[in-house]
A and B are shown apart, each in its own frame.
Chain A
Amino acid sequence: MLNLPRWQVIAIVVVTALAGLFALPNALPGSLLNHLPGWYTQSRINLGLDLRGGAYFLLEADLRGVLNERLANLSDSVRGELRKQQIGFKDVTVQSGAAVTVVLREEAERAKAIEAMRTIDPSLAVSGQGDTLRLAFSEQELLRKKKEVIDQSIEILRRRVDETGTIEPTIVRQGDERIELQVPGIKDTTDLKRKLNQTAKLTFHLVNEDVAQTGQNLPTNLPPTTFLVPTREGMQALRASNPKAYEDIQSANPRLTPEQVCRRYQPQCLPVFKRVVVGGEDLDDAKSTFESQQGGRPIISFTFNTAGGRAFCNATRQNIGKRLAIQLDGEIISAPVVQSAICGGSGIITGQFTTQQTQEQALLLRSGALPATLTIIEERTVGADLGADAIHAGTVAALVGTALVILFMLFVYGPIFGGFASIAMMVNMLLVFAGMSLLGASLTLPGIAGLVLTVGMSVDSNVLIYERVREERENGRSPFSALATGYDRALTAVIDSNLTALIAGVLLFGMGSGPIKGFATSLTLGLLTHLFTATVFTRMLLAVWVRWRRPTELPV
């Protein structure tokens, strides 16, 4: 035990030094952090909302509502398609949350009817007997839609909560139908709820091709029916070349009109008619798919509701060959050329797109309205001063706890062995901090409690070893032998007792939500790193000390 190969000593020192390196950014002042590379300073421990103040929300999406809405739309399409193909039917009804049922007039037309249904959506699951058809979305389709609804909601929440890009909310999926939203630094949630209710403004406008043909980016005399709107690429180029200007635009209060943005900052702009062809509230869905012919290029397909479909049909019929601009929150996200009249209530946008682009565009098209009602099912807010109190209390408790434990160890085991235990305990803390930094974990008040407990429990291994050494010494072994045997005999107890405690920690982590997760994280990490300090690090300290001092008596 006391003959430690040199490479092991080096490895232990390297691990400890690395831990110190990763834990260090947490202790450095902000002014210094700015001069260090981002990859290094990035991995820091975040303060949980209970310490820095802020709001936590758990939102649940009403997926059943979404399904029913889709079923209602499907039943509309089914009626239309049956009429078009002149298949007689008695009834088309929606079974809430499940399927659409069609009752045909003639059982003989069943095959033809099924064929018609396939043209609406080839992935529909058709069942039923005789004159009855039961149409349901396939399992796969339902799963896809579920995921899409949540992804889209997250994207929309992000846009709404973080208009200015300075709030840094954390928005993550929780399970199948929930979203966790954390917004640091706010106390009044009324304002936040107002933001959640805010909708992005999506509108379709025709491009004024007469003005556009002049080729000027900022035409001097615009007809009163037309205004200028910056394009998305234009704004992104501006952001890259002049971030200051971009920030000014985003934070301007009152917000600048698109025209003002064009005139003042001169990004790439398009002249479009002010008249709104159709609004985003009439857009039911947009998704990225592939063209069925011509090599399957990625395209965007979209669907309007009845009113939107009619308006869109009229506008496209009269303006074939012209461009139709899609404006989202004062930026033109796309301006495809109208190829033909689009009247079925749905259409496609083609172009030289990559799949990633079509996915992005589809997401943007959908980001006008939330796809599902989001209900707040849990809310916790902490004022900043309350957080400051918690930090103070936690820090004092942690420092006092650590000091008491160190004093205790020094008193019982003396400066050398007690000192080793204290060093091992502090290295353990260092490892926990490094681990939490690397994981980007949040430190919460219960998390601090976990750290204090770790301090108290992590000297246990040293206690086990030292007590065993004392026993072996009393049994008449020589100092060397007592140290070696004591260490070895204590080892099974050290490992077993830590692994069992770890079980509780891991299960706590599994069930934990919010603050409890913070507690479980620090406690579990503490137990894990403790296995290192207890078995390897302490051993190294003892071995090095013995080799150096060659003691004739053990001061334990």
Chain B
Amino acid sequence: MLWKPHHLIRKRTSFDFLGKRKIALLLSTVINLAALVGVFVFGLNFGIDFEGGIALQVRAKQGEVHLDDLRSTLGNLGVGEVSLQAFGDNRTALIRVQRQEGDARCVAHADNVMKRRAGQGWSVKQGPSDTGDVVFGAPGGLDAAGWREAVSQVGLTIQERQLPRANTNTARIDMSVEQRAEWCQQVAIKLVEDTISGQYELRGTEAVGPKVGEELMHSGIWAVVATLGAIAVYVWVRFEWQFGVGALIALLHDVLSTVGIFVLFRLDFSLTALAALLTIAGYSINDTVVIFDRVRENMRRYKKMGLIELLNFSINETLARTIMTAGTVFVAVLALVLFGGPVLYSFSIAMLWGVIVGTYSSIWIASAALVYMKLRPEQLRPKDEDEAAKAKA
């Protein structure tokens, strides 16, 4: 079977791809509108990367994970919204807790954790309300080293200056409101950890403070916009502006519909999801450029051919390649979906969709856009020098 080549497509095909462009346009509009509505109505299932908060991966010490039990235990903890999902096998779960604000509730949690970890004599209270200060109370006098040890129990990292010098049983740790909010993520981890440590072992934890979450969100949006923009400009420079516009619309289409997939399947929208979006953009444009390259070549060769006919001709010519490449990337991504494990699951599912939509959009969005922009052969630049040289070879 492998000792001789097989042609996936026996003969040169002559499908009328762009004759179906109205149907495709309708389909794409529906899908993208649905995605857009979905984002606003149901919202994205943001991971902690963008919203801040904590995530813990836990494994049941014995038997299976009981999500309902976990949900009711953690729901009553007073840490805000908790979301749970099975992760990989039925012994493992991912617990996600919303971002903690640096409010009185958090200080009460710290008090709770401190009493459990260091002893009943301990207390944690809020300082003056206009500051983020926290006041620690110890059952007996402690020196600086003792204080350092004690505050580590609730995940607090401090500067020597913040500690009392002499032996004392109260210490006011000064911090800003923002610093306290960051610290509160640590408190929440300890609290959840303490609550479930009887039945579950911790396999990994993540905490993203409010500041980082916000920044990652901004830089994420910026990265998507910059990528699409840069690609469109590149295509414009290498081809014509019509090609650049076509590519840009196709990319927007791919990105938005992939976001729709995240809404539809409630997939975790985290940094890896963002990576998937950019990779899909990269794959999709790769596919589009191959068709555009052929369109340009044929336009120079067959100056009399009608635009739709020419586009169909070019798409058919490159069809075998399109199917081949989509196929190889698809099987590679399929391996990721099947064997890549739970961490890569959202990413792989998104990529699988990306391969399909990227291929589709090259034909029915990017190329169809050229029809609506009424591209004509005389709008093409004369051949570049490098291409002239190439023709000689």
Contact = CB atoms under 8 A, between A and B. Distances in A.
Chain A bound to chain B? yes
Contacts of A457: 283, 286, 325, 328-329, 332
A271 interface: no
Contacts of A489: 297, 390
25 contacts: A59-B157, A60-B182, A62-B176, A189-B205, A198-B148, A369-B160, A376-B207, A378-B212, A379-B185, A379-B186, A379-B205, A383-B204, A400-B338, A401-B333, A405-B331, A407-B2, A456-B329, A470-B7, A493-B289, A496-B238, A497-B293, A503-B227, A504-B285, A507-B226, A516-B272
A410 interface: yes
A376 B190 CA distance: 14
A493 B294 contact: yes
Contacts of B1: 411
Contact of A500 (B8, B158, B289): B289
Interface centre among B230, B235, B341, B390 (most CB of A within 10 A): B341
Nearest to A193: B152
A414 B331 contact: no
A377 interface: yes
Given A281-B160, A375-B157, A446-B347, A496 B289 contact: yes
Contact of B183 (A376, A449, A513): A376
A140 to B, nearest CB: 25
Interface string A12-31: 00000000000000000000
A394 B235 contact: no
B320 A467 contact: yes
Contacts of A408: 327-328, 331
Interface stretch (A100-108, A110-118, A385-393): A385-393
Contacts of B182: 60, 375-377
Interface string A489-513: 1011100111111111101101111
A497 to B, nearest CB: 4
Interface stretch (B70-78, B214-222, B305-313, B370-378): B214-222
A463 interface: yes
Contact of B271 (A62, A187, A515): A515
A199 B148 contact: yes
Interface of B (DSSP majority class): helix
B207 A456 contact: no
Interface of B: 1-8, 12, 57, 88, 144, 148-149, 151-153, 155-162, 165, 175-176, 179, 182-183, 185-186, 202-209, 211-212, 216, 219-220, 222-223, 226-227, 230-231, 234-235, 238, 271-272, 274-275, 278-279, 281-283, 285-287, 289-290, 293-294, 297, 317-318, 320-321, 324-325, 327-336, 338-341, 343-344, 347-348, 351, 387, 390, 393
Chain A binding surface, main DSSP class: helix
A471 interface: yes
A61 B182 CA distance: 13
A449 B289 contact: no
B333 A500 contact: no
Given A197-B152, A390-B343, A510 B223 contact: yes
B204 A393 contact: no
B170 to A, nearest CB: 18
A135 interface: no
Sort A-B residue pairs by CB-CB distance and give the 8 closest, nearest first: A456-B332, A393-B341, A504-B282, A401-B335, A414-B5, A456-B329, A501-B282, A194-B152
A373 B162 contact: yes
Contact of B390 (A400, A455, A491): A491
A262 interface: no
B117 to A, nearest CB: 9
B196 to A, nearest CB: 15
* Interface-central residue, A380, A445, A455, A508, by most chain B CB under 10 Å: A508
Contacts of B206: 379-381
A393 B155 contact: no
B216 A513 contact: yes
Which residue, B205, B328, B333, has most C-beta atoms of chain A within 10 A? B328
A503 B231 contact: yes
A129 interface: no
Instruction: Tell which of B157, B220, B226, B318 has the most Cβ of chain A within 10 Å.
Output: B157
Contacts of A190: 152-153, 155
A516 B222 CA distance: 15
A508 B328 contact: no
Given A1-B393, A463-B325, A378 B2 contact: no
Given A197-B148, A445-B343, 19 more contacts: A194-B148, A199-B160, A281-B165, A373-B158, A379-B205, A382-B204, A394-B340, A394-B341, A400-B335, A400-B338, A401-B331, A412-B5, A449-B344, A453-B279, A456-B330, A463-B325, A467-B320, A497-B287, A497-B290
Interface string A240-260: 000000000000000000000
B4 A555 contact: yes
Given A401-B331, A414-B4, A496-B238, A374 B157 contact: yes
A364 interface: no
B336 A397 contact: yes
B333 A404 contact: no
Given A372-B159, A373-B175, A500-B285, A412 B338 contact: no
A488 interface: yes
Contact of A505 (B219, B235, B282, B329): B282
Contact of B286 (A386, A455, A459, A501): A501
A523 interface: yes
Nearest to A484: B393
Nearest to A385: B203
Nearest to A69: B161
A474 B211 CA distance: 61
Contact of B281 (A378, A411, A504, A523): A504
A513 B220 CA distance: 11
Contacts of A377: 182, 208-209, 211-212
